[in-house]
Amino acid sequence: MKKITFISCLFLTFYGNIFAQKTVKYNVYLRSDAGTDTMWDGRIIRVYGIASRLSEAPHIPAKTLYCNEGDTLILKALSISQGDHHTVHLHGLDATTINDGDPATSFWLNHQQEANYAVYAAHAGTYLYHCHVADVLHVQMGMYGLIVVKPRDGSNTTWTGGTAFDRSYNWILSEIDPSWHDSIPVHDAVVDTVHIPPYIPKYFLINGKTETQLPVNDSTVIRGTSGQTIYLRVGSIGFFYERLIFPSWMHAHKIDSDGRPLDEPVQNDTIEIAPGERYGILLDAASNKLDNINVEFVNMNTDSIWSVQHVPVIITSSSVDDSYSSSGDLQIFPNPTESFVTFSFSKKENDQAIIQVTDILGKTVYSGNAILPLQLDIRSFPSGIYRASVKTKNRSFHASFTVYH
């Protein structure tokens, strides 16, 4: 038996490119129960969501699903909807009517019902999946995620024959109005209506994270080393639209829209994205930089900005890749911090260390000698990202931390 498996692996290795088409299957649990997410201020929000295991409580957002161009993508869905119903809508993918998840034209899943949603992934690109039952409500409650269709060969290129990149990030942008989650509006399934209160979002999310959660979240913080190309896939699924403002040194180019390459890339530091849209954005990690991407959340009725979220961009020179974090031997905590920050080594060192802290413009805001651990009062530092360099007799470390007031 083992031998056969080994031979078939060999066969796939050698002939995989010729017979690349395959079926990629995910289990998705459509849950109205059990879900909570904790906001940056400690508030616990009740959510619906799409979990990837039966034993898993749902969180915002659902897991990003991947397949390659030419694959058949199957979502095996089980509804745990209590008295309600759920579906899966594959937004932007060319699903047949029966697989479309629109309850008016296909079907819905009652509590503990199961069904497969299948689609042929014809084009590399960024897509969304979400519940389509009372979607104004169920999407706001958290039933959404991204689908990424990679090129036919699964490589790090934007599409088959597209631009190669070194790193990629996926962002899904949304909001939460806690009042909808505290007292969930009632969906009348018979006439398919929901009586909803005015929408007043309080939390503005990137991958389900907001405010002080953003600088410490690996899925949001953009990291790279000098000279790299970064591919950012962004989808929007709230009721606001967003304005992404990139540092000009990143030379942001919008290159694909809603799962199709644009005829011409659009170079602009500011990129707007509306609910349901997806963009692919190429970014240069040209030099050694610490900066922010700002994301404005804009009310579609009034065009007023309700929130600006700041996501750190950390580009290091290649020789010190990955050392600009609080991992490794040097630890900086808490990060982000409001009043004090502590520098320490994970292993005890008796050497004097020279500590230097610079702001984002490279201006020194602290320097001194100490045997670590050292606690630094940063109450007078303006909010922002700071870079710390710590040198002992034999070693030198670099790390960044964020100050929020």
Per CB under 5 A, residues contacting Cu ion are 86, 131, 133, 138
- Under 8 Å between Cβ of 118 and 129: no
CB contact set of 167 (below 8 Å; sequence gap of 6+): 223, 224, 228, 229, 230, 231
Minimum CB distance to Cu ion smaller for 138 or for 310: 138
In angstroms, rounded to a whole number, what is the distance separating the alpha carbons of residues 239 and 141? 12
Residue 120, both tokens:
């042929």
Minimum CB distance to Cu ion smaller for 131 or for 252: 131
Q: For residue 282, which phi and psi values (nearest 5 degrees)?
A: -90, 135
**Chain residue whose CB lies nearest Cu ion:** 131
Minimum CB distance to Cu ion smaller for 138 or for 254: 138
Which run of H or of E encompasses 297? strand 289-298
Query: Minimum distance from CB of 206 to Cu ion (Å)?
Result: 23
DSSP string, 6-43: HHHHHHHHHHTTTT---EEEEEEEEEEEEEEEE-TTS-
In angstroms, rounded to a whole number, what is the distance separating the alpha carbons of residues 319 and 316? 8
Minimum CB distance to Cu ion smaller for 33 or for 41: 33
Read off the amino acid at residue 340. F
Minimum CB distance to Cu ion smaller for 80 or for 399: 80
In angstroms, rounded to a whole number, what is the distance separating the alpha carbons of residues 356 and 400? 11
Read off the amino acid at residue 75. L
Query: Minimum distance from CB of 81 to Cu ion (Å)?
Result: 7
Query: Minimum distance from CB of 171 to Cu ion (Å)?
Result: 23
Burial of residue 49 (number of CB atoms within 10 Å: 0-12, 13-18, 19+): buried
Minimum CB distance to Cu ion smaller for 136 or for 365: 136
Q: Is the dihedral of CA 311, 317, 321, 322 positive or negative?
A: negative
Query: Minimum distance from CB of 131 to Cu ion (Å)?
Result: 3
In angstroms, rounded to a whole number, what is the distance separating the alpha carbons of residues 197 and 195? 7
Q: 76 vs 52, 87, 307, CA distance in Å?
A: 10, 11, 37
Strand pairing category for 222-225 and 305-316? parallel
Minimum CB distance to Cu ion smaller for 65 or for 131: 131
Query: Minimum distance from CB of 78 to Cu ion (Å)?
Result: 13
Query: Minimum distance from CB of 30 to Cu ion (Å)?
Result: 6
Number of C-beta neighbours around residue 26 at 10 A: 19
β-bridge mates for residue 280, sequence order: 233, 256
Query: Minimum distance from CB of 286 to Cu ion (Å)?
Result: 44
Query: Minimum distance from CB of 37 to Cu ion (Å)?
Result: 17
Minimum CB distance to Cu ion smaller for 86 or for 223: 86
Query: Minimum distance from CB of 113 to Cu ion (Å)?
Result: 12
Minimum CB distance to Cu ion smaller for 86 or for 254: 86
